Amino acid sequence: MQVHDKLYINGQWVAPKGTGKIDVIDPSTEEVCGVVPSGNADDVNAAVAAAKAAFKTWSRTSAAYRSELIGKIAAKFTENMAKVGELCARELGTPLKTSIGLHGGLGIGVMSSYKEVPFEMEKEEKIGNSIIIKEPIGVCGFITPWNFPLHQIVAKLAPALAAGCTVVVKPSSETPLTAFWLAQVLHDVGLPAGVFNLVTGPGRTVGEAMCTHPDVDMVSITGSTEAGIRVAQLAAGTVKRVSQELGGKSVLLALEDADIAQAAARASGGICANSGQVCAALSRLLVPRAKQDIAIAAAKAAAESVVVGGAFDDGVTMGPVSSKAQFDTVRSYIKKGIEEGATLVTGGLDMPAGKNTGYFVKPTVFADVRNDMTIAQEEIFGPVLCIIPYDNEAQAIEIANDTIFGLSGAVYSGSQERAIAAAKQIRTGQVSINGGAFNVAAPFRWFKQSGNGRELGPHGLTEFVELKAMQL
């Protein structure tokens, strides 16, 4: 068990002002696997003061210096890929082998992709008699979720460091252990004091203190739409910039000429990745009505091939969901789907065979889903796939866009040209074409109530940049 009794502020591990403790629960066993401090507003004040002081010098460092440090951080991630995987397996429940590649590998990929980005800050633009330069926005507050304990911090931290910003991070109280490991890595590589600060604690205390603090210049949150709205409301009082990466109910659209069985199998297997706890999860599968039976058979086979178990069990391909609260939420949606008349293809409310401890949910597939059903409209954040039949392509596009969210999507077709044409009509920030791989250098953007802003790649830098025009 890991016990942390200090916060990382101004380059040091310091005793918190808050006196509470937070137990971290291993979702595979329901046992306590760690303890971290529960900070308060005084801790936030100290962290922000350190970040503000450090900004004066860090913001003026050379791009070459920041690039070198980012490279060192990426190298440390690479050296400790297995350690990251073990931490995430323990506090989140992702199977160890998957966790090493997913959580460790994604952290490496994103941080490495920013090694050359600091040099973007030195580029100037001439418009008429004006010179346009870039400056870092200032002190940034990050509120990160539990589903990707390292990546969700790194996706914000890497561009912030590249720009020359300083940061205060509040990780999720459910999976904070990886953040403590990250703080020590940053300390060990020589990141200057005050550039990175870590304060754990409840969102209502620590998160809200960050959002309302007058010396915090921008807030970036990844979380639920409800949390994003709250952050925007709090930040408005001091006119901060707010970047929100929020909920999703993304669609995989299989066109008439697609390999329906292949698309359905990928959708069913994909919804089980990270136990379905992925904001960009393709949780709605749209298929031609005449071919729904093909999709059902393929999705059922894929779901039933998933091996559910503890993060450190041999041969496991899907672990538990993250917590008792998440377990109850996912099961409540499965129950709702049954009550609303969707056809339960596989999975359901029963625990997986042999499991009576841990927050385990069976991979679940519903068919004959209407897009006005609760399970088709609300983000479940679990291993639950909804198969929705359509009658023609125009109707399919309409169904795809009939959601408050606009985070991700996918299109499958026998013709890449046709798939791209359909993808252009889907109102989401990114669309995978025929299984196109996720690209950490491309902008991760979102539409509608999935949030405001962007992350990843050179475009992600813009969230942390102010433009200044100098007239000659």
pLDDT tens profile 273-322: 999 999 999 999 999 999 999 999 999 999 999 999 999 999 999 999 99
Span 139-177, pLDDT tens digits: 999 999 999 999 999 999 999 999 999 999 999 999 999
Span 50-96, pLDDT tens digits: 999 999 999 999 999 999 999 999 999 999 999 999 999 999 999 99
The model scores a pTM over 0.85: yes
Residue 464 above 90 pLDDT?
yes
Beta carbons of 18 and 40 less than 8 angstroms apart? yes
How sure is the predictor about 456, in pLDDT bands with cuts at 50, 70 and 90? very high
Mean pLDDT on 223-250? 96
Span 18-35, pLDDT tens digits: 899 999 999 999 999 999
Query: What does the alpha-carbon distance between residue 347 and residue 364 come to, in Å, rounded to a whole number?
Result: 4
pLDDT for residue 144: 98
How would you class 242 by CB atoms within 10 Å of its CB: exposed for 0-12, middle for 13-18, buried for 19 or more?
A: buried
pLDDT for residue 90: 98
Mean pLDDT on 318-342? 98
Mean pLDDT on 413-433? 97
How sure is the predictor about 235, in pLDDT bands with cuts at 50, 70 and 90? very high
pLDDT for residue 250: 98
Report percent pLDDT > 90 for the chain: 98
pLDDT for residue 17: 95
**Domain edges within the chain:** 2-246+450-471, 250-440
Report percent pLDDT > 70 for the chain: 100
Percent composition of the chain: helix, strand, coil (DSSP 3-state, to 5)? 40, 25, 35
Q: Are strands 343-346 and 364-367 parallel, antiparallel or unpaired?
A: antiparallel
pLDDT for residue 354: 86
Query: What does the alpha-carbon distance between residue 147 and residue 92 come to, in Å, rounded to a whole number?
Result: 7
Query: What does the alpha-carbon distance between residue 145 and residue 368 come to, in Å, rounded to a whole number?
Result: 32
Query: What does the alpha-carbon distance between residue 400 and residue 386 come to, in Å, rounded to a whole number?
Result: 12
Residue type, 472: L
Active site residues: 245, 279
Query: What does the alpha-carbon distance between residue 239 and residue 41 come to, in Å, rounded to a whole number?
Result: 20
Q: Encoding tokens for residue 325?
A: 């609260």
Of the candidates 3, 26, 67, the residue with the CA atom closest to the CA atom of residue 200: 3
- The mean of the pLDDT values for the chain is 97
Query: What does the alpha-carbon distance between residue 203 and residue 217 come to, in Å, rounded to a whole number?
Result: 18
Beta carbons of 169 and 198 less than 8 angstroms apart? yes
Mean pLDDT on 368-389? 98
**Order of strands across the sheet with 130-136?**
125-127, 130-136, 465-471
Residue 285: helix, strand or coil by DSSP? strand
Mean pLDDT on 381-399? 98
How sure is the predictor about 445, in pLDDT bands with cuts at 50, 70 and 90? confident
Query: Which residues sit opposite 139 in a β-bridge?
Result: 166
Residue 218 above 90 pLDDT?
yes
Report domain 250-440's class.
alpha beta
Mean pLDDT on 327-332? 98
Q: Which fold has domain 2-246+450-471?
A: Aldehyde Dehydrogenase; Chain A, domain 1 (3.40.605)
Residue 374 above 90 pLDDT?
yes
pLDDT for residue 46: 98
Mean pLDDT on 95-113? 97
Residue 326 above 90 pLDDT?
yes
Residue 397 above 90 pLDDT?
yes
Q: What's the first-to-final CA gap in the chain, in angstroms? A: 61
Contacts 24+ apart (CB under 8 A), 299-302: 299/264, 299/265, 299/267, 299/268, 299/345, 299/365, 299/367, 299/385, 299/387, 300/268, 300/345, 300/346, 300/365, 301/265, 302/264, 302/265, 302/266, 302/268, 302/269
pLDDT for residue 304: 98
